[in-house]
Amino acid sequence: MRISISSNRNRLIGITIIIIFWQVLYVLIKKDIYMPSPLNVIRSFVHITTDKDFFAVISSTTFRVLLSFAISTFIGLLIGLVCGLNKIAYEIFEPVIVLIRSTPVISIIIIALIWFRSDYAPVFTGFLMCFPVIWSNVVHGIKSTDQQLVEMSKIYMVKPIKIIRTVYIPSAKPFIAAGLTTSLGLAWKVIAAAEVLSLPKYGIGSKLHDSKIYLESDKLIAWTLIIIIISYLFELVLMRFLSKQNRSNDNGLEGL
């Protein structure tokens, strides 16, 4: 409890330092367009969050993030599991992953804009960015499984599906959890960026684009803060869920 109070106090000190530094910069620059004051940003924040379209904007982006995250998780877990267990599948898939990873995000966004409607182009971009992260974590987790336990299971003729459920997946859980947390954070960043270019009717990225066009730096920072807060809240929920899963696992429950 004492540690929690003291770490919360330290966080508060950190945030206060950032705000003071920000205010000092504002006073030095004296141009709202380059550096809006913290007070103006707070005003814009309140204005944005009380706007009638706010819920539609937030829910549209959140839907895109969750959809791309869900698709990446499902396909990443499935293909990652196969590639972790089978060397040939790994060798076939590895170049595909390297190719996706090496492609600049902007190229993927533009390709997605050609292929999909503006509503779904960010979802496709988010998938291509998150899938390799989940895939590589799952592969790494499966490959790091204690082979002595696998050998023991084979001697006792345990069915392969049971070995996967009881030995491989619990072994890979910490890696999978890290992959999911990283890719959820990544999904928010990538989807907001993709929305800036695809300009769907509702989307935080579209709002960022409008702020840029009208040189409303205070709104730009307010929307950025909104992305940071929502992304952080989602990561927090995911981490709580994963740690609950880990506790269940420690109590002897099998599988994910």
Partner 1 sequence: MIKLKKIHKRFEDKVIFEDFSLDIEEHKITCILGPSGIGKTTLLKLISGLSKVDYGIITGLSDKRCSFIFQEPRLIPWLNAYDNINYILESVYTNQKSRDSIIRHHLMMVGLSDDMNSYPDNLSGGMKQRLSIARAFAYPSDILLMDEPFNSLDMNLKLSVMESFKNLWKESNKTVIFITHDIDEAILLSNTLHIFDENPARIVFSKTIAPDIMTRNVNDDSLMRIKTEILQNI
Site residues for partner 1 per CB under 8 A: 148-149, 151-159, 162, 166-167, 170, 249-250, 252, 254
- Residue 63: exposed, middle, or buried by beta-carbon count in 10 A (0-12, 13-18, 19+)? middle
If the CB atoms of residues 167 and 204 are measured against partner 1, the closer one turns out to be 167
If the CB atoms of residues 51 and 254 are measured against partner 1, the closer one turns out to be 254
> Any idea what DSSP says for residue 31?
-
Q: Are 208 and 223 in contact (CB under 8 A)?
A: yes
If the CB atoms of residues 79 and 167 are measured against partner 1, the closer one turns out to be 167
CB of 161 to partner 1, least distance (A): 10
CB of 98 to partner 1, least distance (A): 31
If the CB atoms of residues 53 and 254 are measured against partner 1, the closer one turns out to be 254
CB of 164 to partner 1, least distance (A): 13
CB of 169 to partner 1, least distance (A): 10
CB of 135 to partner 1, least distance (A): 24
- Residue 192: exposed, middle, or buried by beta-carbon count in 10 A (0-12, 13-18, 19+)? buried
Q: Which residues contact 186 (CB under 8 A, 6 or more apart)?
A: 129, 130, 133
Q: What is the DSSP string of 160-193?
A: HHHHIIIIIHHHHHHHHHHHHHHHHHHHHHHHHH
**How far is 57 from 14, CA to CA, in rounded Å?**
30
If the CB atoms of residues 26 and 168 are measured against partner 1, the closer one turns out to be 168
CB of 46 to partner 1, least distance (A): 48
Q: Which residues contact 5 (CB under 8 A, 6 or more apart)?
A: none
If the CB atoms of residues 23 and 249 are measured against partner 1, the closer one turns out to be 249
